[in-house]
Amino acid sequence: MSDPSPQPGTDWPLVSALFITYKRFHRLETALHAFRKHTDYPNLEIVIADDGSPAEVQAQISRLPADIFALLPKNRGLGANNNNGLRHCSGKYVLMIQDDWVCQGPAHYLRDAVGVMEANPRVGIINFAATLHPPDLNQCLPGSMEPCYVTPKPLEGRSYEQFLYSDQPHLRSRKVEEVIGYYLEDRDMERCEVDYSARWKHQTELLTAIFPGYHYKVFINPMGAEESFRINRLRYRVANFLMPVKSLIPKPLLGLARNCVMWPIYLMERLRITR
């Protein structure tokens, strides 16, 4: 495979490292410092997108070593925060990093990924985490000494649908926005993610790829579920609390019972009473 270093007389294209955050300054600070320590890419722009955290948190964020601060004045949800961050990025490529992911290197991982994308313009996303979808070993991509492969289809055999797109750390081409557009702006983060995943699934112009040797190694999530917005949302806490009685409800009534419990919670989310 070819050396990913630029040819004489050329420069590395600008990469925007986009950090997505909300009310977790300590996590963001750790993630940002780890990224700067373990990434040696020579042409970076660091962008922080915050989803309307309290003023004191945004004041702390503004003192971090970043180039651009995309701070929403009000909480609008994950989709709006992603879009606001992307619109502030000026790089040819965007490295998406949520605030609970910590970079461990190797330091040249981003040069490898950019090398692959420069050599293969059809590659729209390179995933560094999420589900390990089966790589096509017959489609090894040039541009890096580290093997990188196309992942043409999602992992099968699960009880729920798998998608090639994930909001976990990934490098994307700006071509992605041209092909499938921006994120759905809805305060329901699952709806935003599923909508975007489905749009990525149905497009055929861009490819998804992965470095098997970097999967869940370049970026790790050390916090587990204790601070996850998804796990700690009211809807999930209520669902877990009611799990023991689920088996006692007749199946024909299960859907009705679930709606009676969950729809008031969905309404409170819409009214911004709870997240």
- Residue owning tokens 């790829």: 209
What pLDDT digit, counting tens, does each position of 185-208 carry?
987 888 899 999 999 999 999 999
What pLDDT digit, counting tens, does each position of 40-89 carry?
999 999 999 999 999 999 999 999 999 999 999 999 999 999 999 999 99
Closest C-alpha to 210, from 272, 269, 153, 273: 153
Q: What is the mean pLDDT of residues 155-160?
A: 82
φ, ψ at 223 (rounded to 5°): -85, -20
Tell me how far apart the alpha carbons of residues 220 and 273 are, in angstroms, rounded to a whole number.
32
pTM for the whole thing? 0.81
Where do the DSSP E strands lie in the chain?
Answer: 15-21, 44-50, 68-71, 93-98, 102-103, 123-127, 149-150, 170-173, 207-210, 219-220
Q: Which fold has domain 15-220?
A: Spore Coat Polysaccharide Biosynthesis Protein SpsA; Chain A (3.90.550)
Tell me how far apart the alpha carbons of residues 168 and 197 are, in angstroms, rounded to a whole number.
12
For 16-30, 187-201, 238-252, which range has the lowest pLDDT when averaged over its residues? Answer: 238-252
What pLDDT digit, counting tens, does each position of 94-130 carry?
999 999 999 999 999 999 999 999 999 999 999 999 9
